[in-house]
Amino acid sequence: MWRIVSTRGRREASVAAVLGACLALACVASGGEADVPAGRGDLRWFTDARFGMFIHWGPVSLKGTEIGWSRGAPVPADVYDDLYRRFDPACFDAEEWVMTAKTAGMKYMVITAKHHDGFCLWDSALTDYDIMTAPLGRDVLAELSSACRRQGIRFCVYYSICDWHHPDYPTDSPGGRGRKPDPDMPAYVSYMYGQLEEILATYGPVGVLWFDGHWEEPWSPAHGERLYHHLKTIQPDLIINNRVGKRRSTGDDAAGGEISVPGDFDTPEQRIGAFNRDRPWETCMTLCRQWAWKPNDEMKSLTQCVQTLIRAAGGDGNLLLNVGPMPDGRIEPRQAQRLAEIGAWLGEYGRTIYGTRGGPFKPGPWGASTCTDDSIFLFVTSWPDRGALELPGLEKKIIQIRSLSGGEVVGKQMDDAIMLSLAGADRDAIATIIELNVDGRAIEIAPIDVPVQPSGSLGAGGIANASNVFRGMAEYGPDKAFDDDPDTRWATDAGTRSAWLAIHLGAPRAISRVVIIEGEWDRVRRYQVQVSSDEGWQTVAEGEQLGPRLEVSFDSVTCRQVRLNILQATEGPTICEFRVFGD
Ligand code: FHN
Tell me whether residue 302 is in a domain. Answer: yes
Ligand 1 center to 386 CA (angstroms): 42
End position of a domain, from candidates 390, 414, 444: 444
Whether residues 307 and 325 fall in one domain: yes
For the segment 528-537, what is each residue's pLDDT rounded down to a tens digit? 999 998 888 9
Tell me whether residue 213 is in a domain. Answer: yes
Tell me whether residue 152 is in a domain. Answer: yes
Whether residues 80 and 190 fall in one domain: yes
Q: What is residue 428's predicted lDDT score, i.e. its pLDDT?
A: 95
9 pLDDT more than 90: no
Whether residues 529 and 394 fall in one domain: no
Strands 154-160 and 375-380, sheet pairing: unpaired
Query: Cβ of 30: how many Cβ atoms within 10 Å?
Result: 9
End position of a domain, from candidates 289, 324, 351: 351
500 pLDDT more than 50: yes
pLDDT band of 564, cuts 50, 70, 90: very high
Tell me whether residue 531 is in a domain. Answer: yes
Q: Residue range 514-529: average pLDDT?
A: 92
Q: Residue range 14-24: average pLDDT?
A: 38
Q: What is residue 549's predicted lDDT score, i.e. its pLDDT?
A: 87
Q: Which of 173, 291, 321, 323 to mutate to test the pocket of ligand 1 (most atoms within 8 A of CB)?
A: 291
Total domains in the fold of the chain:
3
pLDDT band of 211, cuts 50, 70, 90: very high
Range of the domain at 471: 463-581
8 pLDDT more than 70: no
Tell me whether residue 65 is in a domain. Answer: yes
For the segment 118-175, what is each residue's pLDDT rounded down to a tens digit? 999 999 999 999 999 999 999 999 999 999 999 999 999 999 999 999 999 999 999 9
Per-position b or e across 55-92, b if 16+ CB within 10 A of its CB: bbbbbbbbbbbbbbbbbbeebebeebbebbeebbbeeb
DSSP H or E segment with residue 402: strand 398-403
Q: What is the pTM of this model?
A: 0.85
Whether residues 259 and 326 fall in one domain: yes
Q: What is residue 15's predicted lDDT score, i.e. its pLDDT?
A: 36
For residue 18, CA distances in Å to 30, 212, 422, 442 come to 19, 52, 20, 18
- Provide the mean pLDDT of the chain: 91
Q: Give the ligand 1 atom nearest the CA of 158.
A: 6
Q: Residue range 475-494: average pLDDT?
A: 92
Whether residues 277 and 389 fall in one domain: no
Strands 239-240 and 208-212, sheet pairing: parallel
Q: What is residue 393's predicted lDDT score, i.e. its pLDDT?
A: 96
Outline where DSSP puts E strands in 190-313: 208-212, 239-240, 282-286
Tell me whether residue 456 is in a domain. Answer: no
pLDDT band of 452, cuts 50, 70, 90: confident
Whether residues 366 and 430 fall in one domain: yes
For residue 320, give the CATH number of its domain.
Answer: 3.20.20.80
Ligand 1 proximity of 291 Cβ (cutoff 6 Å): yes
Q: What is residue 127's predicted lDDT score, i.e. its pLDDT?
A: 98
For residue 564, give the CATH number of its domain.
Answer: 2.60.120.260
Q: What is residue 487's predicted lDDT score, i.e. its pLDDT?
A: 81
Ligand 1 center to 531 CA (angstroms): 46
Q: What is residue 522's predicted lDDT score, i.e. its pLDDT?
A: 86
Whether residues 203 and 237 fall in one domain: yes
Q: What is residue 534's predicted lDDT score, i.e. its pLDDT?
A: 81
Per the CB < 8 A criterion, the answer to whether 232 and 41 are in contact is yes
Ligand 1 center to 113 CA (angstroms): 13
Ligand 1 proximity of 55 Cβ (cutoff 6 Å): no
pLDDT band of 189, cuts 50, 70, 90: very high
Residue predicted with more confidence, 300 or 19: 300
Tell me whether residue 547 is in a domain. Answer: yes
Whether residues 480 and 379 fall in one domain: no
Taking Cα atoms as reference points, which of 193, 240, 183 lies closest to residue 217?
Answer: 183
Q: Residue range 61-72: average pLDDT?
A: 98
End position of a domain, from candidates 317, 351, 385: 351
Q: Give the ligand 1 atom nearest the CA of 54.
A: 8
Whether residues 489 and 375 fall in one domain: no
Whether residues 40 and 109 fall in one domain: yes
pLDDT band of 251, cuts 50, 70, 90: low
Residue predicted with more confidence, 278 or 1: 278
Q: What is residue 5's predicted lDDT score, i.e. its pLDDT?
A: 53
Tell me whether residue 425 is in a domain. Answer: yes
Whether residues 369 and 274 fall in one domain: no
Q: What is residue 250's predicted lDDT score, i.e. its pLDDT?
A: 60
Whether residues 96 and 154 fall in one domain: yes
Query: Which phi and psi (to 5°) does residue 444 adopt?
Result: -80, -10
pLDDT band of 27, cuts 50, 70, 90: very low
